Amino acid sequence: MIRVRFAPTPAGNTPAGNLFVSGARVALANYLFARRNSGEMLLRLDDLDQERSRPVHAEQIMHDLRWFGIDWQTSFRQSERLELYQAAIERLKREKFLYPCFESEEELKAKQEFRRKRNQSPIYDRAMLKLTDKQRTDAEAGGKRPHWRFKLSGRTLEWKDMIAGPGRATLSAVSDPILVRADGSATPVLASVVDDIDYRTTHIIRGEDNAGNTAVQIELFEVLRGPKAPIRFGHLSALGDGGKPGPGDKAGEGDGRTAVGARRTGSLSLRSLRNDGVEPAAIATCMTARSSAGHEAVSLDEMAERFELTDLASSRFDVTRMLAINRRILLGLDFAAVADRLPAGATESFWLAVRGNLDLLKEARGWWDVVAGTIVPPVVDGAHDLLLTAQSLLPPEPWDNDVWSTWIAALEHATDRTGEDLLLPLRLALTGEDSGPGLSGLLPLIGRPRAASRLAIAAA
């Protein structure tokens, strides 16, 4: 059976538990690949860094994934599997694939700098392979504790990346990786391979920032797993910016609520997009290359039916396109689908009046202030007489849906103004904006007292 995994790290210096668009794209690739091939997707939480990982971080990531429409068959935390990693460590030591190293971080940096100055490769020089038993005993007696390196074979490996194509690496040109820290704990490279073997992972789909570990992991798989069918790798190129920031974009500083377009696209979090009112389908559709020409949302079910990894290989995420797709999605949502996300007191009539003019659902807040709150419109130059006439011709309440057409007909007759010459001053006075939802839908919601007051202020 096809089995893939998504392996986020629930830690970091960023707001706790944020799943960014770049990571969500990797999750989407794994999820759709599994569905397309009738396989399974696992969620592995890489929480070995206990100082920075918190349960709440993991819960937030899982919440974000489910909101995005992604689910999994099994989930587990690496922190619960330490005994399994220790067993692998003991086996590698026993079979002489690991060797102890006593150099400090400062010593290793000095070695690298020494080699660079002589135009030599800065790879590790394997000096510790010459360590005698006495030297090791003396070092440990002096309080030193070794980290352990994996002794690479030095051969040349070749493989075919499912996305990037042919891959090749000569292991003699690669530093023997540290698989065990000085405190005896496994590093992520080892823990990941052990987990993939234990859970019978068949395909590893991840970002290209992890591609540098591929050759080392292939050799480690061979040592620990034996001559079974090789695990296949696929690396997605880095997710770059595309398009310009959308309406209402504002900068934010590390509070998990950064607005759309204010940061590099790949570092937009799903939580910030959700809070801004972007629908999951708009984000997912923007991640797929196949539908790049249009602004129609594509459901995950539709994507899975025809999914190819190349659909997500594009490195461009167009925020402008995402907002256009989101606008279409919002236009098609009925009141029940958004009622719990609208400002308190918002009605179905309000939603129907504004939904066709929103790129982000959060923009409904501003229009609710227009119809139900207090705004101070600008003084409209050259429209003093028009606005006072408009105020005097406001029909008496109660108002129905025909109040706009009745009022505008009276104004056209009284002022000889038509089109934008009439509508723009009225819009500025009533809403404080020069564009937006149709005034025929807004005016009944604004009501006569607010309308009369705003017209007077704008005429001053």
The CATH 3.40.50.620 domain(s) of the chain lie at 82-236
Query: Does the pTM of the predicted model rise above 0.85?
Result: yes
Distance of CA 367 to the CA centre of its chain: 28
pLDDT band at 380 (very low <50, low <70, confident <90, very high): very high
Does the structure show a pLDDT above 70 at 333?
yes
pLDDT band at 240 (very low <50, low <70, confident <90, very high): confident
The CATH 1.10.1160.10 domain(s) of the chain lie at 241-331
342 close to 260: Cβ distance less than 8 angstroms: no
The set of residues, in sequence order, having a beta carbon less than 8 Å from that of 260 and lying 6+ positions away, is: 245, 246, 248, 249, 268, 272, 273, 276, 278, 319, 322, 323, 360
Q: What backbone phi and psi angles, to 5 degrees, belong to 458?
A: -70, -20
What percent of the chain has pLDDT above 90? 73
Calpha distance 403→280 (Å, rounded) = 38
312 close to 289: Cβ distance less than 8 angstroms: yes
Nearest Cα residue to 316 out of 31, 25, 32, 67: 25
Q: What is the average pLDDT across 140-153?
A: 93
Nearest Cα residue to 365 out of 342, 385, 387: 342
Calpha distance 70→63 (Å, rounded) = 10
Which one of 3.40.640.10, 2.60.40.10, 1.10.1160.10, 3.40.50.300 gives the CATH number of domain 241-331?
1.10.1160.10
Q: What is the average pLDDT across 321-330?
A: 95
Distance of CA 347 to the CA centre of its chain: 32
The yes/no answer on whether domain 341-460 falls in CATH 1.10.10.350 is yes
Distances (CA, A) of 293 to 262, 279, 458: 24, 19, 43
Does the structure show a pLDDT above 60 at 406?
yes
Q: What is the average pLDDT across 415-442?
A: 94
* Tokens at 59, concatenated: 């819960």
Q: Which CATH architecture has domain 82-236?
A: 3-Layer(aba) Sandwich (3.40)
The CATH 1.10.10.350 domain(s) of the chain lie at 341-460
The set of residues, in sequence order, having a beta carbon less than 8 Å from that of 180 and lying 6+ positions away, is: 89, 98, 147, 148, 186, 187, 190
